[in-house]
Amino acid sequence: MRVYISADLEGISGVVATDHTSSEGSDYGRARRLMTAEVDAAARAALDAGAEEVVVNDGHGGMRNILIEELSPDVKLMTGTPKIFGQMEGIDRGEGFDGCIFIGYHARAGTHGVLNHTISGGVVSSVCINGREVGETGLNAALAGEFSIPLIMVSGDTHVCEQAREIVPSMVTVPVKEAVGRYAALCHSPERARRLIGQGVSEALERMQNGEIEPYRVSGPVEVLLTTADTAMADLAALLPGSRRVDELSVAYEGEDVTDAYRALRAMIYLGSCSRR
């Protein structure tokens, strides 16, 4: 059994502010240790459940947050950026994974939830796949599904857990905090959060092995619709060959499959971000 873990920072218990999530923030060092500990709890639970290989992909910001020296020695860490599939880099590697787990995820842009956004808070107002609005959870679940890998567990605040179950109702969700606002939350202690994550991973792997959780599949062709924060960003996003300007703020791209659309979306967001330079 091979398990893939994609990790973000905004959904970690105790993390509520940009001082936690920015590498220049005064509380960043503490936040990255909390992130590392939750990821390690998930990885160790997977190993205890019989996983022969656990790969962790650091998916926040510059993607160099997780402290490798504080992980189980039996875990492999994907770190650094840029990566073609970003938070899901390596999901297509080797013999394939049996299931994937998202740790520290957050709600999509424009919805309730701690530090809510989608990929790039300064550029993205919303993302839709084939007409359905999704956040990072939905996007990444669809990419995993392209390789027949089910998303079996998500941890984060209560709102991302609700959004995850909309995508895959049978998955396990582990809320480690309850959003009070965008920058405030009622948080479990780190010890309890890690214990809940470990229990969630054990339950999720059992459900997966029993065939209770199916991959989230999006059939091609796949249209991704990016709505940007301002018109200059849409001007630049529309430079991507094959894209189509939909309105003042929105650019669409139709791909053959999820991997094609996913890469195009990342390129459009990057192009849009250049308007701020």
pLDDT tens for 65-101 read 999 999 999 999 999 999 999 999 999 986 789 999 9
What letter does residue 277 receive in the DSSP assignment? Answer: -
Cβ atoms 213, 100 nearer than 8 A: no
- DSSP per-residue string spanning 86-100: GGGTTTT-TT--SEE
Q: Is residue 34 part of a domain?
A: yes
What pLDDT score was predicted for residue 94?
64
Q: Are residues 152 and 30 both part of a single domain? A: yes
Asked whether residue 163 is assigned to any structural domain, the reply reads: yes
- Catalytic residue, candidates 20, 117, 159, 188: 117
Are both 75 and 37 inside the same structural domain?
yes
Cis peptide before 190 (omega within 30 of 0): no
Task: With respect to residue 234, please indicate whether it lies within any of the assigned structural domains.
Answer: yes
Do residue 237 and residue 162 come from a single domain? no
Q: Which CATH number covers residue 228?
A: 3.30.1360.130
Question: Are 97 and 177 in a shared domain?
Answer: yes
pLDDT at 277: 62
Same domain, 169 and 253: no
Give the side-chain half-sphere CA count within 13 A for 55: 21
Kindly state whether residues 200 and 231 are assigned to the same domain: no
Separation CA 160–CA 157 (nearest Å):
6
Answer yes or no: do 269 and 147 share one domain.
no
Active site residue 188: no
| ∠ Cα 86 72 11 (to 5°) | 45
Note whether 177 and 192 are within 8 A (CB): no
Centre a 10 Å sphere on the Cβ of residue 267 and count the other Cβ atoms it contains.
16
Residues 158 and 233 both lie in one domain: no
Q: Is residue 243 part of a domain?
A: yes
CA–CA gap between residue 105 and residue 115 (Å, rounded):
10
The parent domain of residue 29 ranges over: 2-118+135-209
Residue 51 placed within a domain: yes
> CA 83, 84, 86, 91 torsion: positive or negative?
negative
Asked if residue 78 and residue 156 are part of one domain, the reply reads yes
Place of tokens 């218990």: 13
| CATH number of the domain bearing residue 80 | 3.40.50.10780
Backbone angles phi, psi at 189, to 5 degrees: -60, 155
Q: Could you give the number of structural domains in the chain? A: 2
Low-confidence residues in the chain, pLDDT < 50 = none
Asked if 5 and 87 count as a contact pair (C-beta separation under 8 A), the reply is no
Q: Are residues 146 and 203 in the same domain?
A: yes
- CA neighbours closer than 13 Å in the CB half-sphere of residue 183: 5
Query: Does 161 share its domain with 236?
Result: no
pTM, full prediction: 0.96
In a domain, residue 105? The reply is: yes
